[in-house]
Amino acid sequence: MAGTGPVRLTRIAPFALAAALAAAGAALFGQGLYLSAKAEVAQLLLNRAWDRSVQSHTAAKPWPWADTWPVARLSAPRLKQSAVVLAEAGGEAMAFGPAHLSQTPQPGAPGVSVIAAHRDSHFAFLKDLKAGDTLVLETGDGQKAFKVTGFEVVDHQASGIHPDGGPPRLALVTCYPFGAMQPGPLRYVVWAEPEPEPARTARPAARRKAS
């Protein structure tokens, strides 16, 4: 089932995004239980760093020598899954949790924001998502709900993901197939769009007492 249609590409060359997805795919190839345990422990520190970032409105590193920092927190309420999203989807960042591809808009900004993670740890739950599921994205500007709209399996060199333009959308990416022991060119993409804002009910005017 296809996801949302591609957005017109205006600033980023297709080969640049393909290279980023390929690099993310290499980083996505897990190292078994060691990576999973490392990622779980790291998320405890990352959640603390994210809370500090929100309170101070500055980028807070999870540990002094880290070359990355939290930029958002993503959760899937139905599946009871939550993870802090890191800046710069590279080998180090993705060893600890989901990471944002810097060639794409920031999570929650207009356009398609690409977030990648390991298929055997933080994005293992992608295979259990269903169309219509709610995802909650927390950024420095607050929380926003997204609805899962579609799924795709694509080649990392022809992903069809064009980041620029349009309303804020999410593309959650991991290696495919799930459970495979060898890296490969395929990526599993989950598409999500903002849920409509609830309509505000106007308060009835207060009645004035007769004098």
Domain harbouring 167, CATH code: 2.40.260.10
Q: pLDDT at residue 200 above 80?
A: no
Using one digit for the tens of pLDDT, what is the confidence trace for 132-162?
Answer: 999 999 999 999 999 999 999 999 887 888 8
Q: How many domains does the chain have?
A: 1
**98 located within any domain:** yes
**48 located within any domain:** yes
**175 located within any domain:** yes
**120 located within any domain:** yes
Using one digit for the tens of pLDDT, what is the confidence trace for 160-181?
Answer: 888 888 899 999 999 999 988 8
**94 located within any domain:** yes
pLDDT on residue 6? 41
Provide the greatest CA pair distance for the chain.
82
pLDDT on residue 169? 96
Q: pLDDT at residue 73 above 80?
A: yes
Q: Could you tell me the pLDDT band of residue 3, with boundaries at 50, 70 and 90?
A: very low
pLDDT on residue 168? 94
Within a 13 Å sphere around the CA of 127, how many CA atoms are in the beta-carbon half? Answer: 13
**26 located within any domain:** yes
**41 located within any domain:** yes
Taking alpha carbons only, the member of 65, 64, 66, 68 closest to residue 101 is 68
In three state form, how does the secondary structure of 43-66 look? Answer: HHHHHHHHHHHHHHCCCCCCCCCC
pTM over 0.85: no
Domain boundaries, position 108: 14-58+68-194
Q: pLDDT at residue 207 above 70?
A: no
Average pLDDT, the chain: 82
**210 located within any domain:** no
